[in-house]
Amino acid sequence: MATSVELSTEEGGTYSGPLLDVRNLHVEFRTREGVARAVNGVEYSVDAGETLAVLGESGSGKSVTAQAIMGILDSPPGFVTQGKIIFQGRDLLTLGGEERRKVRGARMAMIFQDALSSLNPVLNVGEQLGEMFTVHRGMSRKEARARAVELMERVRIPAAKERIRSYPHQFSGGMRQRVMIAMAMALEPELIIADEPTTALDVTVQAQVMDLLAELQREYNMGLILITHDLGVVADVADKIAVMYAGRIVETSPVHDIYRAPAHPYTKGLLDSIPRLDQKGQELYAIKGLPPNLLHIPSGCAFHPRCPRARDVCRTDDPPLYRVSQHRASACHFWKETLGDDSVPSDDT
Amino acid sequence: MTTASRPTTPEPSDGRPADREPILQVRDLVKHFPLTQGIVFKRQVGAVQAVDGVSFDLFPGETLGIVGESGCGKSTVAKLLMNLEEPTSGEILYRGEDITKLSGRALKAVRRNIQMVFQDPYTSLNPRMTVGDIIGEPYEIHPEVAPKGDRRKRVQELLDVVGLNPEYINRYPHQFSGGQRQRIGIARGLALRPEVIVADEPVSALDVSVQAQVVNLMERLQDEFNLSYMFIAHDLSIVRHISDRVGVMYLGKIVEVGADAEIYEHPTHPYTQALLSAVPVPDPEARQYRERIILSGDVPSPANPPSGCRFRTRCWKARERCVVEEPLLAVPEAFRGTGGPAAHDSACHFAEEKPVVPRER
Ligand SMILES: Nc1ncnc2c1ncn2[C@@H]1O[C@H](COP(=O)(O)OP(=O)(O)OP(=O)(O)O)[C@@H](O)[C@H]1O
Ligand SMILES: Nc1ncnc2c1ncn2[C@@H]1O[C@H](COP(=O)(O)OP(=O)(O)O)[C@@H](O)[C@H]1O
Ligand code: SF4
Ligand code: SF4
Ligand SMILES: [Mg+2]
Ligand SMILES: [Mg+2]
């Protein structure tokens, strides 16, 4: 097997950039009602062993970006119209179908929110896990089966030897999510994209599943893109965050900085609108209005109709991703003022 | 990092206004759904014990939050209160009168005063009815509240009250966003001027920013109309925000109940402690000093709950006594008469305090 590919560039040199580097990605859906611009210049990167959380409200383009990276975009109606998806030094968008398929599954894998609809209902989990090894690794069925049991034990499914004959619907939500994680881990990929992996689960089960994911990530030094709208989950596991709004990244930052002092009014609004567990607050802050219709994204800064800080320039000029510090960027004309809002020196040292 | 000292505890109080009578008293409420086998000759082979002996009070103007994992019986309690299910046994007293025994006009009169708001703003509104018809529908059943000629004006007032444009009265649900639809559901819930609103996961399907708008609206309406809420949710932070008292359910039973600070800052039941410790808090600094209780296994089937304490199969403190003796919901002996915040109802033989909620920035 050609393992050197992943480390060499087209020019033959060694690649030393991030594991995954998404640059200026644009995706649109051409529907009967018009063109929905779901992803409008997304930029983010993730390194081996690193967890990037992609945060945003529903419809902000988190999943579509992930589907474009995985090469599983629903097309038509969806089309990547611009950009680069550089994975281990190669732009995936330039690869042919066969090569792309090899990357998917073996090098990068995805975990979905709804395990029941993404697992095959008519195959037992042993057959589904085993298939990964027979198809991709050319193992015999017996070998594959043994590996499947190992995997199930690895994701801590009790009585793996017996449960391997069970069908997806016979597992609880949490156990099913473990089966999905096992599937994703089977070929030891370098990158895992988890799209709302615990959104449908109760907090106690969510904690079990997130723990497992973090442990596996450490063990295999994988890059992890965690898509979520839960600011609590992000604070718990992420190294860095990309906040999405209307198909764009509006802020990227290491996790600690963004919670201490957001540099974009949308991030600030999100943080202010969540109630706290450790004390009873006053009235909640609420971002006014609604997320935009992607058929008619507002001019200038897409957030301006909802932004408490908006001025005339925001209605006309689309803010670029301004560099805030070495590892931070914000797509707000007034990021300095926004930072100033909160940048009281932290007192917890 | 220094461990921040906890804030001083609010007055030890169980949150019950002593001078007021409860508006709702639920006593030993039980709902078992029969499990049958066979198609022609149905035999009962068991029962799903969805709700199994639940008691609580609801006071005028207060919010009682109910939390617990999926399947623990929260929605079934709501449906029983709404008379959408018939209880297997138990009493629901509304101003002292058992509504499970009422029928006909007497029942109808009581039902007017208890209304419900549902979780899913996408499916709970009839897509073929206009907003005006949806909000005004309760007047068809209770015409005495608003005579025909008055209704349109009433509905427009209600739209205004929940922050929607009264001119939207002829629009259809699909023309609204999730948050707006939830406002429509709330307006309908308010139409008959009820005293009690049972809200089953009213904001769970909404995005954070919109969730805050709806929660604020509910709080404003509560003050304005002196409503009592039973607020069901699985988001423990939202429940703390809105509730005066909180009940924690596990497998068809309330295992702990008390004022919000008693439950969140002084939980004594292991299940409450595990539940709270598992909530991810939006503060990365909290990672270092939080202690998470990771429960093993899944919730057992409510058709076949464990003997003794129902939580014992997942409880790290379980002992022999927990297998044979069911713990009752009462102030645990250890805290009885202390008057402190740990002295609230908790159904555990070995109840003890354990702070589990990390302090945020
Ligand atoms: N009509 C019914 N027939 C049989 N079993 C039922 C019925 N309705 C509910 N149950 C069962 O009763 C138990 C409690 O269900 P309930 O809907 O009250 O849970 P819940 O706490 O509201 O859960 P969730 O958080 O998922 O909404 C579950 O085991 C459920 O499967
Ligand atoms: N197959 C599709 N056809 C048309 N529009 C789509 C399709 N998939 C997603 N979209 C649209 O793209 C936008 C972004 O969606 P998505 O990435 O799923 O959001 P989220 O951030 O919630 O994951 C949404 O407006 C959605 O309706
Ligand atoms: S650019 Fe203007 S409208 Fe956009 S977030 Fe910044 S201040 Fe608000
Ligand atoms: S009674 Fe026993 S099993 Fe139940 S919660 Fe208390 S210690 Fe745990
Ligand atoms: Mg999504
Ligand atoms: Mg429910």
Which tens digits make up the pLDDT trace of A20-49? 999 999 999 998 889 999 999 999 999 999
DSSP-assigned letter for residue A14: B
Claim: this prediction has a pTM higher than 0.90: no
CATH number at residue B77: 3.40.50.300
Q: B264: domain range?
A: 2-37+44-113+194-346
Question: Under 8 Å CB-to-CB from B149, ≥6 apart: which residues?
Answer: none
CB-CB contact of A33 with A62 (8 Å): no
At B19, the pLDDT band (50, 70, 90 cuts) reads: low
Number of compact structural domains in chain A: 1
CB-CB contact of A88 with A6 (8 Å): yes
Residues with CB under 6 A from ligand 3: A 264-265, 301, 303-304, 307, 309-310, 314, 319, 332-334
Is position A135 within any domain? no
Mean pLDDT, chain B, rounded, equals 88
Q: Give the sign of the dihedral formed by CA B202, CA B207, CA B210, CA B216.
A: positive
Is position B155 within any domain? no
Confidence check on the interface: ipTM exceeds 0.90, yes or no: no
Chain A CA closest to residue B215: A284
Residue nearest to atom 4 of ligand 3 (CA): A301
Among A175, A3, A216, A211, smallest CA distance to A106 is for A3
Residue A7: predicted pLDDT? 43
Tokens at B120, concatenated: 């899913």
Is position A245 within any domain? yes
The H-or-E segment that residue B283 falls in is none
Is position A208 within any domain? yes
Is position B307 within any domain? yes
Is position B208 within any domain? yes
Tokens at B227, concatenated: 């409503």
- What's the gap in Å between B51 CA and the centre of ligand 1? 9
At B276, the pLDDT band (50, 70, 90 cuts) reads: very high
Rounded to whole angstroms, how far apart are CA atoms B132 and B243?
Answer: 31
Q: A58: domain range?
A: 15-122+191-340
Is position A147 within any domain? no
Chain A CA closest to residue B294: A208
Residues with CB under 6 A from ligand 1: B 33, 48, 50, 68, 70-76, 234, 302
Is position B169 within any domain? no
Per-residue pLDDT of chain A (349 residues; tens, 9 = 90+): 333 334 444 445 566 789 999 999 999 999 888 999 999 999 999 999 999 999 998 889 999 999 999 999 998 999 999 999 999 999 999 998 889 988 988 899 999 888 778 889 999 999 999 998 998 889 999 999 999 999 999 888 888 888 899 999 888 888 888 899 999 999 999 999 999 998 878 888 888 889 889 999 999 999 999 999 889 999 999 999 999 999 999 999 999 999 999 999 999 999 999 888 887 878 889 898 888 888 889 999 999 999 999 999 999 999 999 999 999 999 999 999 999 865 444 333 3
Is position A171 within any domain? no
Residue B13 vs residues A209, B26, B244, B245: alpha-carbon distances, Å: 37, 21, 11, 10
Is position B164 within any domain? no
If you search the block for the tokens 């999943």, which residue do you land on? A63
Rounded to whole angstroms, how far apart are CA atoms B40 and B42?
Answer: 6
* Surface of B (277-306) touching A: CB under 8 A: 278-287, 292, 294-295, 297-298
Number of compact structural domains in chain B: 1
Rounded to whole angstroms, how far apart are CA atoms B194 and B78?
Answer: 16
Is position B121 within any domain? no
Residue B317: CB atoms within 10 A of its CB come to 15
Is position B319 within any domain? yes
3-state SS, residue B302: coil
Is position B124 within any domain? no
DSSP H helices, A24-165, are 62-70, 97-106, 115-118, 125-137, 141-154, 160-163
CATH number at residue A261: 3.40.50.300
Q: Which residues of A touch B215 (CB under 8 A)?
A: 275, 284
Residue B137: predicted pLDDT? 92
Q: How far apart are the first and last CA of chain A?
A: 51
Exposure letters B49-88 (e unless 16+ CB within 10 A, then b): bbbbbbbbbbbbbbbbbbbbbebbbbbbbbbbbbbebebb
3-state SS, residue A83: strand
